[in-house]
Structure formats: C-alpha cells, structure tokens
C-alpha cells in the first residue's frame, strides 16, 4: 500500500508530534498500522494548531450568537450584518513561529493567509491590521525581527493592494525568544454571495486552483504546535514562501468564479495544506472525498504523497464545483493564468481516499481526522507567584521629583510613542476608502455607495492579563470596544487571537482558562459576540513563556460615516471632559514598567455595566454633534491621553487642565497615581463651547461619573493639581518625544 514510504513506527509517530497514546488511538480507530501518508494526516490534523485539543473545552463558553451574526466560529471567517445587502467578514490569526524563524516570509505569509480566509467566504478584502509583540526594544535581535516583520507585512499587503489601518506594537523581555505576529483582515460581501467550506453533493468534482505545490511549509502546523529550543531558527523549511501578485490573481479569479454560481464550496489551503482542506470540507458536509495526487500541479520534482498532502505552499484553494460546470471553472482560472485542475470528487462514504497514480496511499474516515481528534481536559493551577505580584504596592515607590520629565519620558517610551515608523511603510489609502488612517484609536473605512463606515481595531494589554488573567482579558475586550466607541462606532462582533505558552503546563492553562472566562464575561456584558478567532499555544523558548496575550480584534458600524471622530484636539476654546470613574491603579501600568522597571500590583476595578454606559454616552454625544474629538484613556493614564490628544493630530495644539475636586481627597491620591494611573472605562472628549449645556444634560441622562477638566488651546500642555503645576510641557518637546520615541528606541 505504501510502496517506498518508510515503515511507520512509534518512534516515527513521536517524531511527528503525536503522543504514544494518540498513536495507539489511531491504530485502534483504523484497525491497523497507518501508512506514512496517513500518519502525516493525523499528525497535522491532530496538532494543537488544527485540533485545538487543549483549548476547545474552554472556548465553548464564549458567546457566539447575536442579531448581527451571519456566520460564527467554524468557518474560515466570521460574518456580521451591515444592513441592506452587505455584510462584513473578518478574522484574526497568528503567524508567530514562522515569523521568528524567518521574519519577512513568516509575516508576509501570515498576511496572505488571513486575506485568503476572507475572500474564501466570498468577500473582497478592504483592510488589514496587525498586532505585534517583540522583546526589549533596545535588544539588537528585537530590532532585526521588527525590521523583518514590518517589511514582510508591508511587502505582501502593498503588493496585494489592501490598506493597512493600524493595530499595535508592544515590547517585553518575555517575547525575546518568541515574538507575536497576529494579522487581522476584513472584507465586504453581499449577503446572497456568502460561500462556505463544505464539500457537498456526492459526485461533484473537486478542483485544485491557484499556485503550484512545492516543499515549503511542510510540518508548518506541527511546528506551530511545539515550543522552541536552541535550534528554532534552523527550521526554515517549515516556513511558507509567499507571492502577493499570485494571491491578487487568485482573489480576482475566485470572486469571478463565485459569480458564475458554479462553486459549491471552497476552502483555503492554509495550515496542513491539502490534508486539512480535503478533511475539513467533507467533515462539515457529512460526505467523503477522493483525490488523485498525481494531478496536483507541482513546482518541484518527485514529490511524495506525504509531501503533497502536507505542503503549505501559499496562494492555493480547494473548491468543489457543481457537476457539469467544470468548464466554467477552468475558463475563469485560465483567464487569470492560474492552475485549475480537477483532482478528485466528493463521495458519500465519509472516507478521505488519497491516491497516487491510481494506487491508494491513504484511506481514513474524515471524522477520525476532524471531529474525533483528541480533546483534553488537563489540570489547571493558579501559580504561587501570582499572590506575590498582586501584593506589591506601587505606592511604596517614590514619586518622581520632575513630573514633566517623567511625562515626556512616557510619551517617548516605545510602547506609547507614535508608531509612524511602522505604518508609514504600509499603503493606507489604496482603494481610496480610508477615512481615518493609522494613528487614532481605530481605523475607519467608508462603504462605497452608502452613508456607512466600518471602524476596526486590535487591542490587548498583556501586562494586565499576566497580573490578573480574567480581569485583564475582560479589559482587553472593553478597551477594544472603547476604541470603537470614541470613533462613534457600534461594535458588531469580535475575533480573538489567544497567544499563550505551553498548555501542558498547569499554570499556563490556568491563565488561558481565566482569560477565556474574562472575554466571555465582557462580551456578554457589552453584547458583543465572538464570531471567530485563533488559539496559538506553545509560544515559549527554552522554558520562557510569553506574557499571556489574548489579542482582541473588533469591528463596528458608523452611520452616518461623516459622524466619525478622531482622538486629537482640533480647536482652541473647546471644553475638555473626562468620562468615567476616578478609580485607577499603578499596578501593571506603563509608568510602573517604564519608569520603575516593575510589572506587579493590583489592577483598577472593572465595572462592565459602567463601561457599557461610557460607550453609550460617548456614541450618543458624537451622534448629537457635541464632540469634536474623543480618545480612549489607556496606557500612560490621563496625562498621556491628554498629551496624545495634543500632538497626534495634523496640527499640534495645547491644553490647560485643572485636576481640582473630589478626586484629590485622601492621602493615596498621589500625583503620579492621578496623572499616570490606568483604569478602565475612561474617555477624554473635547466639546465645542456652544454645545456645553447640551452635553451636560446628555451626560446626566446616562447616569455616569464625568467632569469638566480643562480647555483646548495654547502652546503647551499644562496640568495643575490644587493650583500647583504638575506638568508644563511645551508642544515642541512633547511632539518630538512622541514622534521620535519609537525610532530612537528601535530603528
């Protein structure tokens, strides 16, 4: 049956990433030893990357339905209703391990993969975003990784022709051996043209379309399901090689073929390549599939069945066509100079049958590869060191003597400083629909032919999650929703990329369990469904795990588009208000890390109902035309929020802020706490003078804490407490610190 293929043994199975127990389970399920090709199928489909075998039990608790949800988890991307005949497809995924091994191609193919997830659904991609994490900014290795990753993202996205609307870049020593590269994409689709990855209709032909298959990317899925060691950078053959120009052709060909009505189902050949597509498509439909590998277009000679099935070569799709309409499919792909080869057909026996030159080299029930993949309920354990972290009191540290210099240092820290060095390398306006470019709380795109716009963002404060996984993850959801609220957008759904260390360590799995519970709690409180996402485990090297980083990608609707707002101050004389509670903490703050070199302490309390009221109040005031600018208060606290509001816009403008009032009562209201403390549910808005009274009445209707704190204008940011100047920062120094800070540390 296997010819020249090596004999399968337990040692070979262990080397493929399977456990002894899993190998025994395969033998029992098949009633025999698997062939070498079959072993490859199981090793890929039962990998953590494909099977979610450690995470599935926790993910079941996430809310996945809602009035706007047209497609939830389980497909290539989630889809939400935009009203009328349009819908939005969006998804976020990781490409962490490949980007560490080969930064440019790893990041590039991460972008390519997430774009394919979008147009596989029948949607035309309209934007990408990225969420990146690296080791210490000053580390030369981090700098090399940043340069490679940013180059890969810009090369692929710019060549493909999709705007990059921003995201985030973070730094911590824990990412030194395992950077995070998470890519998000969004696309527009007609509701009557949504496609799904289902192999329906026994007898229907199966087509391979797109680029040819090579040996790149073999074992990519299993590589992404293992921790790194000292030889990690030698695994270059497991990294895919991308071609954005071919992907652009594939996009146009797929969308044109979809318009013919000849396509029954379609799936991207991403992780595990042909093996995954040939298994998952029939599994979803309750059918089987037979494929002949000798027909698969190949760019390398003498490829084995194992290599063809497990290759993760890019820019490829598997589609099921309606029987009798084969020539329509061939004509469309021939027009775009792409391969379109009939390699098999759908069957009704529930079996994946793999042939090579007519000889069966693999015959496995599709459910055995997919639905019957192992699901583990491993023990979780709260680590003992968690108590020590929470017990630390940041107020035991001295208050800086010069708060202005402290403020300027924070404005120039790599986590807070402008990321223009990154996003200026990306095309932001291709398609001419970009209304708000990177540099504000969320990117905004108009929907042509309507008065609607879409706002998109990514967010996660990993320090918060490390100190309190449940609350920190809930705060990530709240902040992403707040990023949308300050633009005037109503969230429609979220996608998450859950980046953690090894789930085989009880303390890591405890972090994951708690984080998922926090996401679920926040989503229910804010009425935001989870429509898809990705779990990335084993992000650790030589036993050093990354900070738990559940990145939240969120999309929302602005209607009308012209009501959108940005984060910066615009006009002299506008009144400045702070919405939200007084409660803040230095625990886990950027100030505590950047100035004192500590990551510890308790987080500020999170009241999700109050968070919701702040969002509603912000959207209500924007809809009423009472807000000129609005900015989420997050890293760096109130002082940094004010500083960014002054210098992040097209024209810097100062402000005078007086922090007198009840918030100063008590001995614990130290200057650094008031200025740099961080907490949820806080927004700074600027209000035109003529709208002040109306704004006051509206805030009263929402029953939330808020207060006037200052006015826009002048050539500096002046913040006083009790009549004493705490910060006096000239615009030019503030702007220079913020705009040059990232490059000074990284470039």
Active-site residues, by number, are 49, 95
DSSP 585: B
Taking a C-beta distance cutoff of 8 angstroms, is the pair 637, 670 a contact? no
User: How many whole angstroms separate alpha carbon 602 and alpha carbon 467?
Assistant: 7
Q: Which of 468, 474, 554 is nearest to 521 (CA)?
A: 474
Using DSSP bridges, classify how beta strands 339-347 and 288-292 pair: parallel, antiparallel or unpaired: antiparallel
**Residue located via tokens 């030159």:** 357
Taking a C-beta distance cutoff of 8 angstroms, is the pair 69, 190 a contact? no
User: How many whole angstroms separate alpha carbon 276 and alpha carbon 18?
Assistant: 17
Question: Helix, strand, or coil here: 196?
Answer: coil
Taking a C-beta distance cutoff of 8 angstroms, is the pair 34, 363 a contact? no
Question: Helix, strand, or coil here: 390?
Answer: helix
Question: Token pair of 614, please?
Answer: 């702040």
User: How many whole angstroms separate alpha carbon 727 and alpha carbon 733?
Assistant: 13
User: How many whole angstroms separate alpha carbon 638 and alpha carbon 709?
Assistant: 11
Residues 182/187/189/191 CA torsion (nearest 10 deg)? 50
The 10 Å CB-count burial string (b at 16+, else e) for 87-102 is bbbbbbbbbbbbbbbb
SS3 annotation, 611-652: HHHHHHHHHHHHHCCCCCEEEECCCCHHHHHHHHHHHCCCCC
Question: Token pair of 415, please?
Answer: 């986590």
User: How many whole angstroms separate alpha carbon 539 and alpha carbon 562?
Assistant: 42
**Residue located via tokens 């594939």:** 250
Question: Helix, strand, or coil here: 376?
Answer: coil
User: How many whole angstroms separate alpha carbon 731 and alpha carbon 654?
Assistant: 7
User: How many whole angstroms separate alpha carbon 667 and alpha carbon 660?
Assistant: 15
Helix axis angle, 731-745 to 637-647, nearest 10°: 100
Q: Which of 577, 578, 576, 598 is nearest to 586 (CA)?
A: 598
Distance from the first to the final alpha carbon of the chain: 56
């Amino acid at each position: 049956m296997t010819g020249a293929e090596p004999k399968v043994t337990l040692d070979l199975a262990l080397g493929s990433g399977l456990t002894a127990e899993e190998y025994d389970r395969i033998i029992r399920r098949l009633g025999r030893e698997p062939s070498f090709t079959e072993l490859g199928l199981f090793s890929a489909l039962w990998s953590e990357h494909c099977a979610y075998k450690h995470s599935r039990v926790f993910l079941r608790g996430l809310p996945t339905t809602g009035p706007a949800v047209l497609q939830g988890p389980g497909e290539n991307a989630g889809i939400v209703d935009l009203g009328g005949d349009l819908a939005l497809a969006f998804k976020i995924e990781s490409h962490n391990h490949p980007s560490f091994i080969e930064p440019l191609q790893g990041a590039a193919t991460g972008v390519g993969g997430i774009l394919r997830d979008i147009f596989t659904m029948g949607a035309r991609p309209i934007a990408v975003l990225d969420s990146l994490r690296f080791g210490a900014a000053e580390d030369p290795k981090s700098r090399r990784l940043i340069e490679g990753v940013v180059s890969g993202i810009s090369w692929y996205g710019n060549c493909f022709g999709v705007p990059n609307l921003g995201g985030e870049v973070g730094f911590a020593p824990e990412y030194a051996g395992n950077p995070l590269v998470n890519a998000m994409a969004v696309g527009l689709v007609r509701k009557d043209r949504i496609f799904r990855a289902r192999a329906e209709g026994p007898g229907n032909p199966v087509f391979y379309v797109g680029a040819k298959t090579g040996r790149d990317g073999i074992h990519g899925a299993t590589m992404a399901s293992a921790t790194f060691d000292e030889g990690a950078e030698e695994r270059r053959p497991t990294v895919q090689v991308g071609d954005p120009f071919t992907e652009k052709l594939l996009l146009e060909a797929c969308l044109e073929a979809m318009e013919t009505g000849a396509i029954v189902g379609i799936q991207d050949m991403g992780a595990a390549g042909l093996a995954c597509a040939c298994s998952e498509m029939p599994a979803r439909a309750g059918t089987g599939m037979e494929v002949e590998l000798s027909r698969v277009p190949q760019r390398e000679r003498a490829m084995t069945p194992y290599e063809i099935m497990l290759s993760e070569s890019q820019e490829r799709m598997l589609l099921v066509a309606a029987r009798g309409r084969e020539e329509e499919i061939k004509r469309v792909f021939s027009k775009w100079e792409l391969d379109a080869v009939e390699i098999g057909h759908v069957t009704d026996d529930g079996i994946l049958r793999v042939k090579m030159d007519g000889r069966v080299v693999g015959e496995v029930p599709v459910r055995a590869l997919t639905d019957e993949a192992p699901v583990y309920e491993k023990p979780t354990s709260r680590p003992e060191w968690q108590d020590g972290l929470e017990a630390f009191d940041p107020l035991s540290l001295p208050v800086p003597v010069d708060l202005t210099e402290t403020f300027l240092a924070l404005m120039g820290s790599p986590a807070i400083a402008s990321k223009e060095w990154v996003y200026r390398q990306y095309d932001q306006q291709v398609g001419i629909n970009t209304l708000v470019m990177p540099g504000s709380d969320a990117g905004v795109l108009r929907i042509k032919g309507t008065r609607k716009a879409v706002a998109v963002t990514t967010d996660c404060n990993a320090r918060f999650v490390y100190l309190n996984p449940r609350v920190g993850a809930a705060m990530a959801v709240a902040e992403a929703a707040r990023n949308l609220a300050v633009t005037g957008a109503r969230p429609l759904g979220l996608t998450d990329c859950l980046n953690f260390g090894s789930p085989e360590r009880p303390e890591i799995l405890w972090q994951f369990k708690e984080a998922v519970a926090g996401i679920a709690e926040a989503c229910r409180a804010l009425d935001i469904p989870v429509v898809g996402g990705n779990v990335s485990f084993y992000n650790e090297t030589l036993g050093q795990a990354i900070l738990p980083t559940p990145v939240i990608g969120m999309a929302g609707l602005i209607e009308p588009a012209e009501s959108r707002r940005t984060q910066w101050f615009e006009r002299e004389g506008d009144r400045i208000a702070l919405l939200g509670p007084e409660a803040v903490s230095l625990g886990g703050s950027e100030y505590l890390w950047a100035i004192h070199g500590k990551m510890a302490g308790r987080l500020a309390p999170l009241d999700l109902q109050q968070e919701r009221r702040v969002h509603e109040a912000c959207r209500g005031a924007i809809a009423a035309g009472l807000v000129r600018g609005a900015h989420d208060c997050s890293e760096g606290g109130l002082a940094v929020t004010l500083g960014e509001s002054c210098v992040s816009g097209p024209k810097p403008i100062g402000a005078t802020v007086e922090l007198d009032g009840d918030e100063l009562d008590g001995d614990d209201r130290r200057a650094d706490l008031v200025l740099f403390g961080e907490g949820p549910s806080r927004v700074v808005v600027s209000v035109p003078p003529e709208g002040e009274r109306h704004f006051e009445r509206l805030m009263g209707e929402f029953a939330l804490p808020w207060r006037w704190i200052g006015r826009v204008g002048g050539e500096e940011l002046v913040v006083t407490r009790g009549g004493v100047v705490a910060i006096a920062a000239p615009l030019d120094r503030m702007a220079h610190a913020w705009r040059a800070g990232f490059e000074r540390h990284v470039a």
